[in-house]
């Protein structure tokens, strides 16, 4: 679907569709680190899903902020707050998220609220815990305007990870590979497509890591990539991250905190 064919008086919807079809996503081992976007829940990188999960019998609460400066126009979109709750169970997780978006494009301002649902199941985990494979689903509804549906995005993905360790089994880096397929339904138009993605985490210390990821371009749907710094104190339920990225030529800045509680 061409975003330019959407009604010109709905810039916030056009931006939402842009961020949705980009497959924006958010992880780190058994705990989750937030990213201020609405797609696959709290376990992932900047724009891709990962095979890691929320810890079993734990709830991961995330609160994030994201700002996108829109290239070529005098405009931006702020997603604040992005709030997510995810529950981990044996080999899986399920969650719900709330997103409030404030959009300002060349003097036109609007505020919209959205809800999303997501789930993930790990289909393989090697005995040495180095290799994991998971599949997931995410549903993002754009709501309605005067009784007319503004559309939705349904995403399916398969993702795998491999962890590089030193002789003492300490994580050094983690490689992520996968593919995401999406069905984007907008006013009067529906399109489906699939794209590969790749990501890499480097563990500077047991508490600090740097992550980079890339989601490929598909026709008119732009690529997305991010670079982020993550902090997770050992044996603590709190984590945080900050990062930057690009969505087409738009600049993305995000930050957030996460708190895990449970058994």
Closest CA to 22 of 255, 260, 259, 245: 245
Handedness of CA 204, 213, 101, 181 (dihedral sign): negative
pLDDT band at 150 (very low <50, low <70, confident <90, very high): confident
Rounded mean pLDDT of the chain? Answer: 81
CATH superfamily of 3-262: monomeric porin ompg (2.40.160.40)
Q: What is the per-residue pLDDT for 201? A: 95
How far is 68 from 22, CA to CA, in rounded Å? 13
State pLDDT tens for residues 64-85: 888 888 877 788 888 888 889 9
pLDDT band at 136 (very low <50, low <70, confident <90, very high): very high
State pLDDT tens for residues 157-191: 999 999 999 988 899 999 999 999 989 887 778 88
State pLDDT tens for residues 234-263: 888 999 989 999 887 888 898 989 999 987
How far is 49 from 160, CA to CA, in rounded Å? 9
Beta pairing partners, 144: 149
How far is 228 from 165, CA to CA, in rounded Å? 21
Q: What is the per-residue pLDDT for 16? A: 43
Quickly tell me which residue has 């398969």 as its tokens.
158
Q: What is the per-residue pLDDT for 113? A: 79
Cis peptide before 81 (omega within 30 of 0): yes
CB 47 within 8 A of CB 215: yes
How far is 66 from 224, CA to CA, in rounded Å? 15
Of 5-9, 131-135, 151-155, the poorest mean pLDDT is in 5-9
pLDDT band at 110 (very low <50, low <70, confident <90, very high): confident
pLDDT at 86 over 50: yes
pLDDT at 132 over 50: yes
């Amino acid at each position: 679907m061409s975003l330019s064919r959407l009604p010109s008086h709905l810039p916030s919807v056009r931006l939402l569709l842009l961020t949705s079809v980009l497959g924006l996503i958010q992880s780190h081992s058994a705990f989750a680190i937030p990213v201020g976007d609405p797609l696959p829940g709290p376990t992932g990188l900047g724009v891709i899903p990962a095979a890691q999960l929320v810890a079993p019998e734990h709830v991961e609460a995330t609160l994030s902020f994201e700002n996108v400066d829109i290239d070529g126009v005098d405009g931006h979109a702020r997603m604040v707050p992005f709030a997510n709750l995810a529950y981990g169970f044996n080999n899986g997780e399920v969650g719900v998220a709330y997103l409030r978006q404030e959009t300002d494009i060349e003097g036109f301002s609007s505020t919209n609220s959205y809800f999303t649902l997501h789930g993930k199941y790990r289909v393989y985990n090697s005995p040495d815990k180095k290799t994991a494979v998971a599949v997931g689903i995410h549903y993002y509804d754009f709501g309605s305007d005067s009784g007319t549906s503004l559309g939705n995005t349904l995403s399916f993905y398969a993702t795998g990870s491999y962890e590089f360790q030193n002789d003492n089994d300490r994580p050094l880096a983690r490689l992520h590979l996968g593919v995401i397929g999406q069905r984007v339904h907008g006013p009067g138009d529906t399109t489906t497509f699939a794209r590969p993605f790749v990501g890499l985490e480097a563990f500077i210390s047991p508490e600090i890591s740097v992550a980079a990821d890339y989601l490929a371009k598909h026709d008119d749907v732009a690529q997305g990539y991010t670079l982020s710094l993550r902090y997770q104190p050992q044996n603590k339920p709190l984590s945080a991250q900050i990062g930057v990225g690009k969505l087409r030529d738009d600049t993305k800045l995000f930050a957030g905190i996460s708190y895990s509680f449970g058994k």
